[in-house]
Amino acid sequence: MSPIGIVSTGSYVPTTVVTNEELAGDAGVTADWIIRKTGIHERRRAADHEATSDLAAHAARGALAQAGLRPEDLSYIVLATSTPDHPQPATASIVQNLIGATNAAAFDVNAVCSGFVYALTVAERLLAGQPGNRYGLVVGVDIYSRILDYSDRKTCILFGDGAGAVVLGPAEEGKGVLETGLITRGDQHRLISVPAGGSRIPPSAESVRAGQHYFRMDGRGVRGFVHENLPAALHQLLDTAGVPADEVQHFIPHQANGVMLSEVWPELGLDNAALHLALKRYGNTGSGSVPITLDLVHRQGLLAENDVVLLTGFGGGMNVGSALLRWGATPYARPARTALPLAG
């Protein structure tokens, strides 16, 4: 198995900004209350003509351009989303067509907000066992604005729309993906759900009237799940990789909720790591949140050669996915015009 690492990154968020003031009234809260509870000031919303595949294609093109690769160089596209264009075909197939990646096998992964790290793990394993020119595209993307109940203050204030992507390819020995860890607690799957639209509750006029196609979340239960499972999952990953916690220099978590992250941060023991957050401006972008934040950090030149980077996603399923990397991606020669500002 040859080492595989991140070669380049890319991201895209829609142009429409949605402020707390715009959401507060329907949700029955104030803009200040949203900031106190989440740390989020604004988020982005996809335009009516934009689907999940469109956002993903934008991010994918950015990552390919930064790597200096053609779409035809890709062997795989693994796309993580829980808000696909359609129940079928896979959104990855549409992205393959949009970007012209004619040689890539393409498929979706749905592990909700952990999806990007799950997809990264799958793609890394596929590429590590493949001879020759081995490049893959991993995309995390969601458009949660289409499945939110804007009267539900527990959910509508958190989410934004966006996509992030990385190109994976050959890495030098000792660099790239060092270890990944995936955990599922299916006994808690009811904490996060969209109840209707599948085989359990097929779409119907009744399911629409009952609001069963909206995203639902037990916020207190999710917070408990994160505190109970995230620290142990990260330290298990570090132990398996043989990397002490104090050697981690960058921590990029799922951008779920700024207050929750500030509460769990002291429990992680990553005393020498920088905690990177982008949720102040972009909110929780689901599967897109880890790769979007990674791209922002990369574009700002904050990642140096050989830095140890820890990525983690957590969410519906309930899942935790983590990846430990030794950085070796192509540095940005100049700031990209499409670069997004990082906001903690």
Residue 336: pLDDT band by 50, 70, 90 thresholds?
A: very low
The amino acid at residue 304 is A
pLDDT of residue 134: 87
78: β partners: 107, 138
Catalytic residue from among 254, 257, 298, 319: 254
Mean pLDDT of 272-290: 97
- How confident is the model over 38-51, as a mean pLDDT? 98
pLDDT, position 335: 43
Percent of the chain with pLDDT over 70: 96
Tell me what the mean pLDDT of segment 282-296 comes to. Answer: 98
170-221 pLDDT tens trace: 999 999 999 999 999 999 999 999 999 999 999 999 999 999 999 999 999 9
From 20, 58, 113, 276, active-site residue: 113
pLDDT score, position 1: 75
Say what the pLDDT of residue 329 is. 82
pLDDT for the residue 133:
64
Catalytic residue among 257, 284, 298, 319: 284
pLDDT greater than 50 at residue 338: no
State the Cα–Cα distance between residues 244 and 241, nearest whole angstrom.
9
pLDDT band at residue 129, thresholds of 50, 70 and 90?
A: confident
pLDDT > 50? residue 225: yes
Domain region containing 135 = 1-344
Contact present, 145 and 44 (Cβ < 8 Å): no
Q: What is the DSSP string of 174-213?
A: T-EEEEEEEEE-GGGGGGEE--SSSSSS---HHHHHTTTT
What phi, psi does 308 have (nearest 5°)?
Answer: -95, 125
What is the total count of domains within the chain? 1
Q: Please report, for the domain that includes residue 75, its CATH number.
A: 3.40.47.10
Q: How far, in Å, CA of 154 to CA of 34, rounded?
A: 10
Res 130: pLDDT: 80
pLDDT of residue 330: 73
Cis geometry, peptide bond prior to residue 89 (ω within 30 degrees of 0)? yes
Strand partners, 45: 16
pLDDT of residue 344: 37
Does residue 254 carry a catalytic annotation?
Answer: yes
Q: What is the pLDDT of residue 339?
A: 41
